[in-house]
Structure 1
């Protein structure tokens, strides 16, 4: 006796075909491309929310470019703005900015993994690989553990920062507004974003070392990177630090102390010009060394600083924070690897060593490639702005270069060019912020779809004259 077989209908066949096509499309997209697309999606949603009438103060000139630029700056934890954050946006709009900073600081992939954790679902291989890409993990085995650690540590640090800042802001602005200010600035400082909703940014607290110390501590916490914090906090158990953490801690300490001493040298008239006591002058230059490199909180008009200070600030911004952190730049470990390579080469050594370990050639080549590509990228963007921004014509080269470096390093400092950017100029700076946060390697691999390919042959080796 034959059985009747129900064949799928035409509608069901089309539905299955469409599903198969979508699955095929997503399977063809590489990890860097997924990261870039995900970040673009976050920015787009943020811009659309900032376009809502309840997001900005009525009666102000408000365009989609204002919303898009602000969303890009917030999601990339930069802090450059074309409108005043304190007066242009309502509390709802400032809350959207705060959420974008949080997403940008932790990485949008964190929230995808949070969904897996909340629903107790297992992460597939692609999700694990994306988490590995976001947090610069060496292996896939501990992605969920690392993510859980990142979320718990981030919430704890920002909560402590909020509690410590709250008394000062509540005293100055009342309970409701003061509490919101404390939450916003704790998130912004930990995210190294530099966004502030204070009427005069942190300049209002230029003579209050406790407020600046709390913000500086949050900035350092965010710029060190989650993997470094895990090593430090687990040191009593493991009694060891990874080579990455050792190099990151050494370079971070050297940059903070070195920048502090150099700012003391370049801004010798800071106390006289700003009415600061000698003690506060020392403290404020220390805050400059911490904040200017990664965060962008400033107590002074950056445009009024000396030329040597501006050059030093550009160098610090370009270096930035630690890989896997909320900061941008080429990263402290990249500089450390290049310094170690230079030191070894000058001493005629073939091996590059640090803390009784030998660095791989892949590490060294990756660092060299990152510096070369980033410098070319910064040069192209600076050239484009110099050609198109008429407002910059009456200023020096540093007026434009400072802006581009600040955007790429997601530092958020400006000499005053940002509010005067044309639409094209805004697009250029948004591109710099996007690449600076997602990572120049991620974007480069997304566009070029780079993959390992063993060449079937090798050419003969020959040298050229160098130097």
Structure 2
């Protein structure tokens, strides 16, 4: 076993680690004590839930609160934590607790899991990951107590505060309430806390480390600059667009005040980039609103965060490359730095492969899943992008998936969390094969 493990590459170990966690979680969820009395969940649905929790997606084929017992819900929260921080992070923690030193391979795996630039960052970043995530989630839970305890009682209020903090920070999209979270439309206090937790998780640990060390370094990395700028613009533009397309959430006008509807619109601009908490029912949104959410889901959060999607940095690089090309510039500059051509090509490759992947999976599901009358292709495409970006939003397809459809969506969620690059370099065993010769160049007409 040790010999087999030593032959695996870091991406393969990361992929295998997530699979082990998923199947262990599924077997625990399948046990009667993990389910509510009188409830029987088959292995396929337990596996789907385990994949969704570990991939921090939130798509569910069963109701979380009424299906899983307290033990089952705690198992889900543990899987969400592991999925959010990365199983390799917890493996390194075990090394530290047992007093063992990290060998080169363990450092390489941690570097791969956290998207670090060099091995020297592993130890310092891991300490930030553990301490920062614990502090943020604890603060979030404490802030929710004054609202949840009077509403649900002491025991349940404390539990829901902790569970909501973990789910929000992990951008998991799981809710543990006995009713839809739309009851929080008139609770801006909780929504603001959730938005802060979601944003904290979606920015990524590398960005937070840069910000926290700014007073010492007096500078932030180009990665942090791009991530913050793109995230800010996405939230700001989508917020304005939602105010226009949804007419200040007109369907809620009779039950929700103007101030609360503004906060609800801001919440709607924050959550689609992988949180998936449906406080505003998607059925109340216009076609334009659904289109905006679809785009935000596809983009996702920042690399090294709890988010999925093609990532904000990819969008930022592609946008700046396009603007530079329109100005006739060959180099892409931002924040006093220049993007390498290798990074630009990698961003383009990720975007193209992601689009092709979503299109192929959507085509496959259109042949196997039933589309209700009155719905179109968006019923399928929306679900696929939601699974790929680990968001958890749904137009209603998930509970009605066929067995084949569940397997497909599970694979999409898994790839969305582990990452296309990790899958390509591990499962597909793609390798860079340098050539000893080059072909002559020739121009091709474009446009």
Q: Same fold (TM over 0.5)?
A: yes
Alignment match of 1:322 (pick from 302, 327, 342): 302
Alignment match of 2:242 (pick from 254, 263, 280): 263
Alignment match of 1:74 (pick from 31, 36, 53): 53
SS at match of 1:292: coil
- Structure 1 residue runs without a partner (length 5+): 1-21
Structure 1 residue 168 displacement after superposition: 1.3
Partners of 1:51 and 1:98 lie apart in 2 by 16
Partners of 2:431 and 2:96 lie apart in 1 by 31
Partners of 1:211 and 1:25 lie apart in 2 by 48
Alpha carbons of 1:384 and 1:253: their partners in 2 closer, same or farther (altered >3 Å)? Answer: same
1:392–1:400 contact (8 Å) kept in structure 2: no
Bigger drift between 372-381 and 301-310 goes to: 301-310
Q: Which residue of 2 aligns with 1:84?
A: 63
Alignment match of 1:235 (pick from 203, 206, 214): 214
2:48–2:406 contact (8 Å) kept in structure 1: yes
1:327–1:410 contact (8 Å) kept in structure 2: yes
Q: Which residue of 1 aligns with 2:288?
A: 308
2:369–2:405 contact (8 Å) kept in structure 1: yes
Instruction: Provide Cα deviations, 1:259-287, integer angstroms capped at 9, x if missing partner.
Output: 10111111116244352211111110000
1:271–1:277 contact (8 Å) kept in structure 2: no
- 1:365 equivalent to 2:374? Answer no
Q: Which residue of 1 aligns with 2:257?
A: 277
Q: Which residue of 2 aligns with 1:423?
A: 403
1:73–1:430 contact (8 Å) kept in structure 2: yes
Partners of 1:67 and 1:324 lie apart in 2 by 28
Alignment match of 1:167 (pick from 139, 146, 163): 146
2:380–2:397 contact (8 Å) kept in structure 1: yes
Q: Which residue of 1 aligns with 2:415?
A: 435
Q: Which structure has the larger Rg?
A: 1
1:391–1:420 contact (8 Å) kept in structure 2: no
- Structure 2 residue runs without a partner (length 5+): none
Q: Which residue of 2 aligns with 1:142?
A: 121
Alpha carbons of 1:371 and 1:392: their partners in 2 closer, same or farther (altered >3 Å)? Answer: farther
Q: Which residue of 2 aligns with 1:223?
A: 202
Partners of 2:434 and 2:306 lie apart in 1 by 35
2:294–2:385 contact (8 Å) kept in structure 1: yes
Structure 1 residue 129 displacement after superposition: 0.7
Structure 1 residue 28 displacement after superposition: 2.5
Alpha carbons of 1:56 and 1:283: their partners in 2 closer, same or farther (altered >3 Å)? Answer: same
Q: Which residue of 1 aligns with 2:75?
A: 96
Count of equivalent residues: 446
Please report the TM-score for the alignment, with normalisation by the length of structure 2. 0.98
Partners of 2:340 and 2:156 lie apart in 1 by 52
- 1:209 equivalent to 2:209? Answer no
Partners of 2:283 and 2:49 lie apart in 1 by 22
2:242–2:248 contact (8 Å) kept in structure 1: no
Bigger drift between 188-197 and 294-303 goes to: 294-303
Instruction: Provide Cα deviations, 1:419-439, integer angstroms capped at 9, x if missing partner.
Output: 000110111111110000000
Q: Which residue of 1 aligns with 2:366?
A: 386
Q: Which residue of 1 aligns with 2:19?
A: 40
2:371–2:379 contact (8 Å) kept in structure 1: no
Please report the TM-score for the alignment, with normalisation by the length of structure 1. 0.93
Structure 1 residue 347 displacement after superposition: 0.5
- 1:154 equivalent to 2:136? Answer no
Partners of 2:5 and 2:388 lie apart in 1 by 29
CA RMSD of aligned residues (A): 1.2
Alignment match of 2:106 (pick from 100, 121, 127): 127
Matches within 5 A, 1:401-412: 401-412=381-392
Structure 1 residue 157 displacement after superposition: 0.3
Partners of 1:127 and 1:392 lie apart in 2 by 49
1:193–1:296 contact (8 Å) kept in structure 2: yes
Structure 1 residue 205 displacement after superposition: 1.4
SS at match of 2:39: coil
Bigger drift between 265-274 and 98-107 goes to: 265-274
Q: Which residue of 2 aligns with 1:331?
A: 311
Partners of 1:147 and 1:349 lie apart in 2 by 39
Structure 1 residue 121 displacement after superposition: 1.7
Partners of 2:273 and 2:17 lie apart in 1 by 27
2:51–2:414 contact (8 Å) kept in structure 1: yes
Alpha carbons of 1:354 and 1:97: their partners in 2 closer, same or farther (altered >3 Å)? Answer: same
Q: Which residue of 2 aligns with 1:4?
A: none
